[in-house]
Amino acid sequence: MENASAYETCIERLEWAIQKLNLQVSSQQLAEIAELIVQPMTGPWRFFHTPQHIFEVGGNTDPIEVLAALYHDLVYVQVDRSINFNVSLYISPFTKEANGHLVIRNQAELPQDDIFAMVMAVFGFTPGQQLIPTAGQNEFLSAVVAAKTLESILSPVKLIQVIACIEATIPFRSVDAGELLYQRLQAANQDFSLGMGEGEIIATVHRGVRIANRDIGNFAHPSAAHFLANTWNLLPETNHNLAARDSYTVCDYRGALQKMEGFLNFLQPELIFRSFRGEPDGETCQLLVARARRNLEIARLYLGSKLVSIAFVEAISFAIGLDVPITIMMGELPGRGYNFVQLVSFLPEIENQFPPQNEIEREVLNLLENGRAQRSDRDLDNSPLATLIVKTIGFDAVREQCDRAKAFFQGQLTTEDFVAHFPASVKEIVINAVLKLFESRSEAVRKYYCIHPDVLKVSCQP
């Protein structure tokens, strides 16, 4: 989504929410809020957490959910490598950096501010607390910005509802996260004399559940191919070297895959989606968890297979350097109007010697062979080398080789030890393919100079 289009859509979403809440806000104020939101979310490292994402997360039925969604990913320190200057103006009175970490200022340093106190109460945070990136740091800071920019527009009750919805988007917590949010809202309602009734507090948590489940809805996508395509957009956000599509190394790529594979193996499907007192209903909860479990199983085997193939390439690359660009070993990525030779050009078509044993393996082999649902300009959509290895040794052996690859990455296996356990046919095919790729480049250079002999005096003989 282009910046201008994102800005216009953000204005439209803000105007819609304000109208639904029967409020009067100047066009100038809404324009300033839209600019504050869109500017950091269209930064150079945003590939998944973009304006399009926040528009989808907000839904189209509840104005509080729409407002909360617009703000919920505004601050993302790990992705942006910093906090946008305009955004930091709202945060710096309440937080500071200490010993390389962001912390809430001590009580003596904090200004007297009931709105900020309300944000802390909803999140369960306290003065002097260190903020942890994986435990609500970004959501908390985003909620602070939301609260301070909306405090002149929304009543305290509506404001705390927006804050609560943003708090609910902290992902991958215990199953009682909704109940804990409910309890903190009860306490805040009393401490700040908000006058919310029991039904209103429950409805607020329900809003938070809905927005949180839309936020990570990709985990329950009916298509594993789409789930993986969206997951692939996360890789360059937290692995910034991948953003430079022409220069990232074999180790850069392997490290990104390894982190994602490790995270998905750690993640439990029961902890992905939120529920609270009938929202969503039991049948929907079961469906979300079942789809997430299937997508995780597929993604784990898919990523494990790709780790094995990139480990083999990394082992070979050590013959020419310790940090070799992946384009040297695999060929240039397609696109940009050029047609360069790739490693896949020298990989033979082979019969599958180990047919998939179940539906998960069939799906993974299809994804490896035919690609994910959306194109990526930083990686091939399909995985020819991983496909060849899977067809040659089977998924059981791939699982074993994945464990050995991790030992290799940690230095527990030498290059020779790791490669030695592959069948001779795999080693011969891959190494010959790499050699032919190198030879094709040499031949291309030689042909260029034979066509343009005045450029440099070289022999055209092989």
Question: Per residue in 46-89, pLDDT tens?
Answer: 988 999 999 999 999 999 999 999 999 999 999 998 999 999 99
Summarize pLDDT for 403-415 with one digit per residue, the tens: 999 999 999 999 9
pLDDT category at 297 given cuts 50, 70, 90 is: very high
Model confidence band, residue 449 (pLDDT cutoffs 50, 70, 90): confident
Instruction: Reduce the secondary structure of the chain to three states and give it as a string.
Output: CCHHHHHHHHHHHHHHHHHHCCCCCCHHHHHHHHHHHHHHHCCCCCCCCCHHHHHHHCCCCCHHHHHHHHHHCCCCHHHHCCCCHHHHHHHCCCEEEECCEEEECCCCCCCCCHHHHHHHHHHCCCCCCECCCCCCHHHHHHHHHHHHHHCCCCCHHHHHHHHHHHHHCCCCCCCCHHHHHHHHHHHHHHHCCCCCCHHHHHHHHHHHHHHHHHHCHHHHCCCHHHHHHHHHHHHHHHCHHHHCCCCCEHHHHHHHHHHHHHHHHHCCHHHCCCCECCECCHHHHHHHHHHHHHHHHHHHHHHHHHHHHHHHHHHHHCCCCCCCEHHHHHECCCECCECCCEHHHHCCCCCCCCCCCCHHHHHHHHHHHHCCCCCCCCCCCCCHHHHHHHHHHHHHHHHHHHHHHHHHHCCCCCHHHHHHCCCHHHHHHHHHHHHHHHHHHHHHHHHHHHHCCCCCCCCCCC
The proportion of the chain whose per-residue pLDDT surpasses 90, expressed as a percent, equals 81
160 close to 121: Cβ distance less than 8 angstroms: no
| Mean per-residue pLDDT over the chain, rounded | 93
Does 242 have pLDDT greater than 90?
A: no
